[in-house]
Amino acid sequence: MPPTLAVIVPCFNEQDSIELACTSLLVQIDRMVEAGLVSRESFLFVVDDGSRDATWQLLTAARQKDGRVRGLRLSRNFGHQPALLAGLSSVYQDADISISIDADLQQEPEAMARFVEAHRDGANIVLGVRRDRNSDGAGKKASARTFYWLMRAMGVDVVPNHADYRLLDKRAMHALLSFPETNLFIRGICSLLGFDTRQVMFDVKERQFGSTKYSLRRMLRFAIYAITSFSTVPLRAISIVGFACFLVSLGMVAFIAWSTLVVGGTAPGWASTTIPIYFLAGIQLLSIGVVGEYIAKIYSTVQNRPRWIEWERLEALPPDRSQSA
């Protein structure tokens, strides 16, 4: 019997693209149903992450046209990762497999059929990996390369060019949702599960509406979020840098002593006094900042606040109204 698929779409201020996204993704579900890949009970689940435009109203209208459209509206903007987790938590009981995809449809929707085929072949997790970055500008390419290089340097196990376009079966969803921490970096967690994981290559399309929500500032914040959630390398680096500074200080003391006792006539200078002070002060402030990031993570975890707050929900319609006439 084909599995029931839930297509999860986190979105924020996507009023220009949400109607097209719903229509296009439902077409893909229909094609997979006709091919016998998924069951007729498969559905679309959209998570409105506190949009301030007409996204929710348009989503409600889309549901009136096709009852397979379900949705969840969060009380405010909690961020992409909590919104995605909210969608997974909502569909877990009703779906055998889930596929998460962005609302801008830049991630090739046609690749979902290949995801399901990989699952039928035994995969618990299927990661969508983009073939290239030819559609990105120079700045976006550079920031993406820096992001993945930084993740690898910090010891975070992530797949380059994979951005939350993935399939999870029920077992993988259950395992992912069992992680209790507040700050959950899903890309890293999926690598920790140890399940059968495959990769499917896909092409990135041009964005038809609006602009990307991932500015350089948000990408930097996302990188800090990922590193402090998964890596202790920065904390260890503080010890290494501190030891290196100690060695440099010993070298400067030896040089000054040699200059004074052997060479002679060395006048005390401003540079030899102030440079070490500023250098060590900068290292100390940097170290305090890194430690502060980890303390902030501990603080938010100890508070144990909810990762999202539900405001409104579009439930499933009865079977006779599940599809438009």
pLDDT in tens, 220-261: 776 776 776 766 677 767 767 777 776 776 676 677 667 666
Between these two residues, 151 and 81, which has the higher pLDDT value?
81
Q: What is the pLDDT of residue 319?
A: 53
Closest CA to 11 of 43, 55, 66: 55
CB 130 within 8 A of CB 161: yes
Q: Is the pLDDT of residue 320 over 60?
A: no
pLDDT band, residue 188 (cuts 50/70/90): confident
CB 51 within 8 A of CB 74: no
pLDDT band, residue 271 (cuts 50/70/90): low
pLDDT band, residue 115 (cuts 50/70/90): very high
The residue-averaged pLDDT of 174-181 equals 88
Instruction: Decide: pTM greater than 0.95.
Output: no
Tokens of residue 192, six digits: 């920790």
Q: Is the pLDDT of residue 170 over 80?
A: yes
Closest CA to 88 of 30, 15, 171: 171
d(CA 114, CA 133): 21
Between these two residues, 259 and 53, which has the higher pLDDT value?
53
Q: Is the pLDDT of residue 69 over 60?
A: yes
pLDDT digits (tens, 9 = 90+) for 296-312: 777 667 766 677 788 88
Most trustworthy range by pLDDT among 22-31, 127-136, 243-252, 296-305: 22-31
The upper half-sphere exposure of residue 11, i.e. CA atoms within 13 Å in the direction of its Cβ, equals 34
d(CA 174, CA 168): 9
d(CA 66, CA 317): 9
The label of the residue with tokens 């579009």 reads 314
The label of the residue with tokens 């070490």 reads 276
| Chain-centroid distance, C-alpha 223 | 9
Rg, Å, the chain Cα set: 25
